[in-house]
Amino acid sequence: MHSFLAILPLHEPLLIFTVLMGVILLSPFLFRLFKIPDIATFIIAGVIIGPYGLNVLSRDSSIELLGTVGLLYILFVAGLELDPDKLKSSKKNSIIFGTFTFIVPFTLGFLVSRYLLQLDFNATLLVSIMFSTHTLVAYPIVRKLGVNKDDSVLMAIGGTIITDTLGLLILSFITQTYSETSVLLQIVKLLVPFGFYVVLIFYSYPKIAHWFFKYVKRDRPVHYLFLLLLVSFSSVLAEAIGIEAIIGAFIAGLALNRSIPKNSLLMQHVDLVGNILFIPIFLIGIGMLINTRVLFSGSYLWYISSILITAAFAGKWLAAYFSQKILGFSIIQRNLLFGLTNSRAAATIAIILIAYEREMVSIAIFNSTILLILVTCIAAAFITEKYGKKIALSSETNLINSYKDRILVPIANPATAGNLVILANSMQNSLSTEPVYILNIVNDDEGTRDNLLKIRKGLEESVSEFNHLNENLKVITRVDLNTSSGILRAAKEYMVTDIVFGWSDYSTRSQRIFGSIFDHLTSGLQTLFAVKIKAIITEFKKVSVYVPDKLVFEPSFSSIIMHISRLPIEEVEIEFKAGDNDSLGKIKAILPKRNKQKISYLISDMELTKVNPEILNVLFILRKQSIAYNPVHNTNTKKAIAANPDGEFIIIVPGFE
């Protein structure tokens, strides 16, 4: 044991890389048990393996390099994912909120830093800027809840651009004038080159990207490397004129915003590499900076932390409060706005790093800021989810389903594809010009080419049996090491809204640990139809649909009801069971009237009894971040399935698209 500790920290490059990959892979699994967001997970992991924890790794030049790239990557992706058209519609609101969410926290931070923490003037300005900035860590939550078009969300996005840009620009002024006597001269020297720089990037980058993507078509990885080069060049150029590199990365993202389609393969590469390498290593590196000995050295650190955290929460809440009073938003919208803009991450880390490296703040303030990042990110997730659901519940717009159906059917065995193909084809809107996609995933091995040809031929022969469906079906095959990942990638590529697949309640030990294909598919956004039917689907006499509470507020609700109404059993009864009349009324409003289809509506306590083999039961499993999520409902559904192993089921997981 002593000899092992003697070799720590590790210096062998291969061992360092192995440890980093292991931490990135395993830490989300471990910390997810405590429901800790990934951004906090990697920081905590960095604390544990860093020089002030177990001392497994030191923060050497390799980690600093990848961490720097990770920080630039965060700001680049933020600029890349903004929707300029949505921002234009809420320009006035964004300007008002952006002004408040910068000035109010900045002022509060200035008073706290100057008079409570007794910092000097330059350090006070830096900490004040840190208070004013924020990162939209919780934005994926509102997107999944289907409220990302709400005025409060659009205002949060616009306000983020304003406050972070102002903060980072003032940061550049401070770092440049730190040793200068003439502030006015320095501002002029900075603003003029910065104006030319912004014009250059916004004018040249879209044209360069258009030319490159047009004439370099065959080598897709080169497109990704090209993007990295543009980001790096923009960041280097920003530093050359006295602007922080992270501003250069953000401006590069904004300039390329319209050049990269959001659903493109290139955007998938950007997400993949950033999320599995650059950003996690950046966050791990931040955790490695935290001196755990200082954390437990006395009450002074906790005194500083309590002041910073309280002031940080108060500043963003007051900004949301003042904006609500002026613009006339509801209290729920105000709280959602506060939740979205309360989290600190990228810009905050950049600012405190600069202040710490220039010895403008103490290690205690630095560690307190890292603790601030952890607390605000976790709080933002909970607040955003709570009030995002309330906005979704108070809105009727989710009943309107405007997207086109695109249905994917993964097939493992062509011989058993009949029910799935018939079901998927019947669910498709008769007016739709979209085909039903039949997919098979082939493992990548020596016989891949032969397997592809064999499976594709088998699928096409099986599909050809459905002569009247032939023109509506499209067979696609994919090579992938993981079946569920291959399905999700194909679904994203073809912009699929619904996935219909065969399902069994059998799971191996490894599936219980890492999740079955069913569990992995729930990480996507599509509506899932897991089919467990032994009989021929057209021969059922009755269908019972158990509608959970609040399902009507799910973004995919109306689509699901329409799909159920199109089941290939038109001359039998479909029985909708719900716990309240309101849900049944909204189902009636959506369903078309058909002469041959008998539909009944019952108030039910939702307790399943012994399943009749002649009845097809439609049940629901709800994602944790969905509006209708209820753990008791999910538990009861699983118990009902387990208690009726011979039952016939379609299990629906409502989607967010």
Domain check: are 446 and 308 in the same one? no
27 part of a folded domain: no
648-653 sheet: strands from edge to edge: 473-479, 436-442, 407-410, 498-502, 527-532, 648-653, 615-620, 542-547, 573-578, 598-603
In this structure, of 81-85, 116-120, 181-185, 535-539, the range with the lowest mean pLDDT score is: 181-185
Q: Is residue 476 part of a domain?
A: yes
Please identify, among 329, 361, 393, the residue that sits at the C-terminal boundary of a domain: 393
| 307 and 376, same domain (yes or no) | yes
Q: Which two tokens stand for residue 456?
A: 């594709």
Q: How many domains does the chain have?
A: 2
Residue pointed to by tokens 């900004």? 319
> Residue 232 has what pLDDT?
92
Q: Which of 5-9, 43-47, 450-454, 627-631 has the lowest mean pLDDT?
A: 450-454
Do 484 and 436 share a structural domain? Answer: yes
Residue at which a domain ends, from 338, 362, 393: 393
Q: Does a structural domain hold residue 610? A: yes
CA distances from 522 to 14, 358, 488 (A): 35, 46, 10
Lowest-confidence pick of 102-111, 133-142, 280-289, 511-520: 511-520
398 is a domain residue: no
Please report the pLDDT score of residue 12 as a whole number: 83
**pLDDT value at residue 313:** 94
**Token pair for 523:** 């990480």
| Residue scoring higher pLDDT (573 or 149) | 573
Are 430 and 364 in the same domain? Answer: no
At 311, which CATH number? Answer: 1.20.1530.20
**pLDDT tops 80 at residue 88:** no
Average pLDDT score over residue span 612-623: 82
Distances (CA, A) of 36 to 29, 45, 65, 227: 10, 12, 27, 32
Same-domain pairing of 127 and 268:
yes
pLDDT above 70 (res 402): no
6 lies in a domain?
A: no
pLDDT tier at 396, thresholds 50, 70, 90: very low
* Highest mean pLDDT pick, 155-159, 224-228, 576-580: 224-228
Are both 417 and 381 inside the same structural domain? no
Q: What is the mean pLDDT of the chain?
A: 77
Q: Are 310 and 180 within one domain?
A: yes
Co-location of 165 and 206 in the same domain: yes
Structure tokens at 45: 């992991």
273 touches 72 (CB < 8 A): no
Does 48 fall in a domain? Answer: no
Summarised one tens digit per residue, pLDDT across range 125-139 is 888 888 888 877 777
Does 519 share its domain with 566?
yes
Condensed to tens digits (0 to 9), the pLDDT of residues 74-85 reads 778 777 766 666
pLDDT range class, residue 386, cuts 50, 70, 90 = confident
- Whether residues 138 and 239 share a domain: the answer is yes
Average pLDDT (8-15) is 81
What pLDDT does residue 397 have? 42
If one compares 193 and 82, the residue with the highest pLDDT of the two is 193
What pLDDT sits at residue 469? 46
| Distance from C-alpha of 247 to C-alpha of 165, rounded to nearest angstrom | 8
Query: Lowest-confidence range among 303-307, 504-508, 518-522?
Result: 504-508
C-alpha distances in Å from residue 564, one per residue of 50, 363, 449, 495, 546:
54, 60, 38, 21, 12
In whole angstroms, what is the distance from residue 611 CA to residue 590 CA?
Answer: 28
Rounded distance between C-alpha atoms, residue 390 and residue 392, angstroms: 5
First to last CA, the chain: 53
Same domain, 317 and 386: yes
Q: Model confidence over 438-492: pLDDT tens digits?
A: 887 776 554 455 555 555 555 555 555 554 444 577 778 777 767 788 888 888 8
Residue 512: pLDDT over 50: no
Its domain, for residue 590, covers 407-653
Where among 370, 393, 416 does a domain terminate?
393
- Pick the range with the lowest mean pLDDT from 206-210, 466-470, 502-506, 530-534: 466-470
User: Is residue 9, in this structure, part of any structural domain at all?
Assistant: no
Encoded tokens for 449? 């080419």
So what's the pLDDT on residue 647? 81
Confidence of residue 435 (pLDDT cuts 50, 70, 90): confident
**Inside any domain, residue 26:** no
What pLDDT sits at residue 628? 84
pLDDT value for 468? 44
- 386 and 414 inside one domain: no
Global model pTM greater than 0.75: no
Report how far residue 254's alpha carbon sits from residue 198's, in angstroms, rounded to the nearest whole number.
11
| Residue 515 vs residue 154, higher pLDDT | 154
Residue 224 has pLDDT above 60, yes or no: yes
Q: What is the pLDDT of residue 514?
A: 46
CATH number, domain containing residue 591: 3.40.50.12370
